């Protein structure tokens, strides 16, 4: 075995192994070579997550045969190593992030992805020995393959996610394929550089650039790539980088290539295609999930009805349904105290039986169960996934103080519109208070839950003297929508007291307190451990500033769905 620079071999010999030489060049520029023989092969790097399998003794043995070597632009190739390393790690991080975004359970996802990725790189390294022939050509082929598979990985996975039954399998297949290809890269590159300098220098330099690349990737990924570009464009951009390495390589290794222009053309085409993707993905990334959440996702699952995402940041955790913030643990107490207590206090007798419509997170339940008078609560929420999450997901069940498991609580998973129609209360079984906490009316399926018909059906559920509170979107952001809800309740025969509160996560938020009879809003808060409400805050909620005051609006009915149209128009202005 020799690490000595080799004199140029005649072109004919180039067929057998190593880079072929189209033209001769002088002796290698490497200077320190003699001591190389005394160096033991470097130990295989052990643990770090992004470690690459280094060529072991086996690889060294294979190089025993003297290889004819052309003088190659070594420094430029080091830069290639750097780019390749950066891209490789970014792919791995992308896959892990995507897995935890789309499938939830980030610990499992990252473990699986990293484990599989590393072992795939091992497989790639092992396979590299079988690659013979024109190494420069093979290296560029692999580079292009990485560009295509890696660059398209995230867009394809995002795309396939809704329609694929075994997403995990597909994700891991991508991870494995990219891992194998990336695993091939460094061994091939090292073999390319083999004759150019002493083995110890080769290993030292290549691995140095490799690890620096990994560090740069690890820094770029969370600080620049994900926040600025999003997952899809990052993926495509890394593909572009790999493509450019191939283009560049077609120049650097031109002397070893039989038809450099052919591979260059291919590399340019791939790069251009991916660049087009980066450009076109622009509209996508502004909507894609990776840009939607400011904080890391700790849980995300698709139920039959909606996409549930929980993120956790410095200020606590947040629940999103279909991308819309439902609460933030930092200030939800303001929202839920304001939602529940006015109705509990406005009922003529201390409520014994309470109905909650929506509110599957169990946070309204927590407030209701604080009243010793409450004997029985029924919560009707469409999505069993949401109510079971509220019971079993530790962050959430802690926040709602295990309200969903309280023996007084009965959970019904049904559409509230259908449920109230089909379950008229038996005599004496009407509800003393009803808390209505639906998502905002941003589609027709939700819009029906804010119609005059719905509020009339609601009236049939309420005991005489009972009170209702309805979450009614923001009178600031969607002023017309808010007053449309108020007006619709009035048209359904309710006596109403609109009120509002500031919830930092949401802005100014609106509710409607209502009873069948004329009534005065409550003035005294109960002697419960409340964080937000006191007598002053309670009185203040029923006052509206000029910019959120009443407007002339249509009544929302099943056959006009005026509210959904108001709501769409109004929120558009803020988005």
Partner 1 sequence: MTSRRDFLTLLLGAPMAAWACRASRPPTTPPGQLLSTGAELGHRWVRDGRAPAPQTFTRHQVVVVGGGVAGLTAAWALARRGVRDCVVLELDEQLGGTARGASSAVTPYPWGAHYIVAPTAAQHELTALLTELGAIEGYDDHGAPIVDEALRCREPEERIFYRGRWYEGLYLRAGASADDLRQLDVFQAEIDRWASWRDASGARAFTLPVSQCSQDPEVTGLDRQSFAAWLDERELRSPRLRWLCDYACRDDYGLLASSTSAWAGLFYFAARQTGAKVDPQPVVTWPDGNFPLVRHLAEAAVTRVRAVVSSVTQGPDGARVVAHTDAGPVGFLAERVIVAVPRFVAAKIVEPLRAAAAVASAPSDYGAWAVANLHLRDRPRQVMGAPRAWDNVLYQSKSLGYVTATHQQGRDVGPTVLTWYYPFTDDDAAGARRAISGAGQPEWAETALADLSRAHPGLRDLVTRVDVAFWGHGMIRPKVGSLWHPQRLAAATPVGRIHFAHTDLSGMALFEEAFDHGNRAAREVALALATR
**Within 436-495, which residues bind partner 1 (CB under 8 A)?**
442-445, 447-448, 451-453, 456
Residue nearer to partner 1 on the CB measure, 190 or 453: 453
Can you read off the two tokens belonging to residue 536? 């002053």
Under rule CB under 8 A, residue 418 binds partner 1: yes
Using the rule CB under 8 A, which residue among 40, 47, 64, 283 binds partner 1?
A: 283
Residue positions counted in the chain: 575
**Within 285-314, which residues bind partner 1 (CB under 8 A)?**
287-289, 292, 302, 304-305, 307
Helix (H) / strand (E) containing 497: strand 495-503
Alpha carbon dihedral 276, 278, 280, 285, in 10-degree steps, equals 170
CB of 156 to partner 1, least distance (A): 6
- CA–CA distance, 50 with 43 (Å, rounded to integer): 16
Helix (H) / strand (E) containing 386: helix 384-392
Region from 60-68, 159-167, 213-221, 343-351 binding partner 1, contact rule CB under 8 A? 159-167
Which runs of E-coded beta strand occur in 40-101? none
Under rule CB under 8 A, residue 497 binds partner 1: no
Residue nearer to partner 1 on the CB measure, 159 or 272: 159
Residue 292's contacts (CB-CB under 8 Å, 6 or more residues apart) are 320, 323
CB of 289 to partner 1, least distance (A): 6
Under rule CB under 8 A, residue 539 binds partner 1: no
At CA 155, angle to CA 149 and CA 160, rounded to 5? 100
Residue nearer to partner 1 on the CB measure, 271 or 442: 442
Using the rule CB under 8 A, which residue among 270, 561, 567, 570 binds partner 1?
A: 561
Under rule CB under 8 A, residue 156 binds partner 1: yes
Which runs of E-coded beta strand occur in 127-247? none
Using the rule CB under 8 A, which residue among 49, 119, 129, 161 binds partner 1?
A: 161
Under rule CB under 8 A, residue 573 binds partner 1: no
Using the rule CB under 8 A, which residue among 181, 417, 538, 541 binds partner 1?
A: 417
Using the rule CB under 8 A, which residue among 1, 164, 223, 528 binds partner 1?
A: 164
Region from 12-20, 60-68, 155-163, 360-368 binding partner 1, contact rule CB under 8 A? 155-163
Residue 121: name the closest of 167, 156, 85, 170 by CA: 85
Can you read off the two tokens belonging to residue 138? 């093979």
Q: How far is CA 126 from CA 52, 59, 200, in A?
A: 12, 9, 21
- CA–CA distance, 397 with 362 (Å, rounded to integer): 8
Q: Quick one: CA dihedral 295, 300, 302, 305, positive or negative?
A: negative
End-to-end CA distance of the chain: 66
Active site residue 282: no
Q: Looking at the annotation, which residues are catalytic?
A: 437
The residues binding partner 1 (CB under 8 A) are: 155-156, 158-167, 169-170, 173, 283-284, 287-289, 292, 302, 304-305, 307, 322-323, 382, 415, 417-418, 421, 442-445, 447-448, 451-453, 456, 557-561, 564, 568
């Amino acid at each position: 075995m020799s690490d000595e620079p080799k004199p140029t071999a005649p072109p004919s010999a180039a067929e057998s192994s190593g880079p072929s030489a189209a033209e001769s060049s002088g002796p290698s520029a490497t200077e320190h070579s003699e001591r190389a023989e005394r160096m033991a092969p470097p130990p295989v790097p052990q643990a770090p997550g992004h470690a690459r399998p280094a060529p072991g003794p086996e690889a060294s043995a294979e190089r025993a045969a003297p290889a004819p070597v052309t003088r190659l632009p070594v420094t430029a190739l080091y830069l290639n190593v750097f780019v390749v390393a950066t891209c490789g790690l970014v792919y791995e991080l992308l896959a892990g992030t995507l897995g935890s975004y789309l499938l939830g359970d980030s610990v499992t996802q990252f473990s699986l992805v990293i484990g599989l990725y590393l072992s795939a790189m091992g497989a790639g390294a092992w396979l590299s020995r079988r690659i013979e022939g024109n190494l420069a050509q093979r290296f560029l082929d692999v580079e292009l393959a990485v560009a295509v598979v890696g660059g398209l990985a995230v867009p394809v996975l995002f795309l396939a996610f809704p329609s694929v039954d075994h997403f995990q399998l597909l994700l891991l297949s991508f991870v494995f394929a990219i891992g194998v290809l990336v695993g091939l890269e460094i061994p091939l590159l090292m073999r390319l550089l083999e004759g150019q300098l002493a083995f110890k220098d080769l290993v030292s330099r290549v691995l140095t650039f490799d690890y620096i690349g990994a560090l740069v990737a690890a820094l770029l990924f969370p600080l620049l790539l994900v926040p600025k570009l999003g997952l899809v464009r990052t993926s495509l951009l890394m593909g572009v980088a790999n493509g450019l390495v191939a283009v560049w390589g077609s120049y650097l290794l031109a002397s070893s290539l039989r038809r450099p222009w052919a591979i260059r053309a291919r590399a340019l085409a791939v790069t251009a295609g991916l660049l087009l993707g980066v450009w076109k993905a622009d509209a996508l990334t502004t909507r894609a999930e990776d840009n939607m959440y400011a904080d890391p996702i700790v849980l995300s699952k698709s139920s039959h009805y909606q996409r549930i995402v929980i993120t956790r940041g410095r200020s606590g955790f947040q629940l999103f349904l279909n991308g819309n913030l439902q609460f933030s643990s930092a200030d939800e107490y303001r929202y839920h105290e304001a939602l529940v207590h006015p109705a509990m206090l406005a009922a003529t007798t201390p409520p014994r039986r309470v109905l909650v419509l929506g509110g599957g997170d169990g946070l309204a339940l927590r407030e209701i169960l604080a009243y010793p008078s409450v004997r029985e609560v029924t919560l009707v929420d469409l999505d069993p996934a949401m109510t079971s999450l509220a019971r079993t997901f530790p962050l959430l069940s802690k926040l709602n103080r295990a309200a969903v498991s309280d023996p007084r609580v009965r959970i019904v998973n049904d559409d509230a519109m259908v449920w109230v129609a089909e379950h008229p209360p038996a005599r004496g079984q009407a509800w003393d208070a009803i808390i209505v906490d639906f998502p905002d009316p941003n589609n027709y399926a939700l819009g029906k839950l804010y119609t005059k018909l719905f509020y009339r059906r609601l009236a049939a559920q309420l005991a005489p003297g009972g009170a209702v509170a309805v979450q009614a979107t923001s009178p600031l952001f969607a002023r017309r929508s808010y007053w449309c809800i108020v007006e619709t309740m009035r048209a359904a025969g309710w006596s109403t007291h609109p009120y509002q509160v500031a919830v930092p996560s949401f802005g100014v938020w609106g509710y409607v307190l209502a009873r069948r009879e004329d009534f005065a809003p409550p003035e005294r808060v109960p002697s419960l451990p409340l964080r937000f409400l006191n007598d002053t805050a309670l009185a203040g909620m029923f006052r509206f500033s000029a910019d959120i005051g009443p407007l002339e609006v249509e009544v929302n009915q099943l056959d006009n769905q005026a509210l959904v149209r108001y709501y769409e128009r109004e929120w558009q202005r803020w988005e």
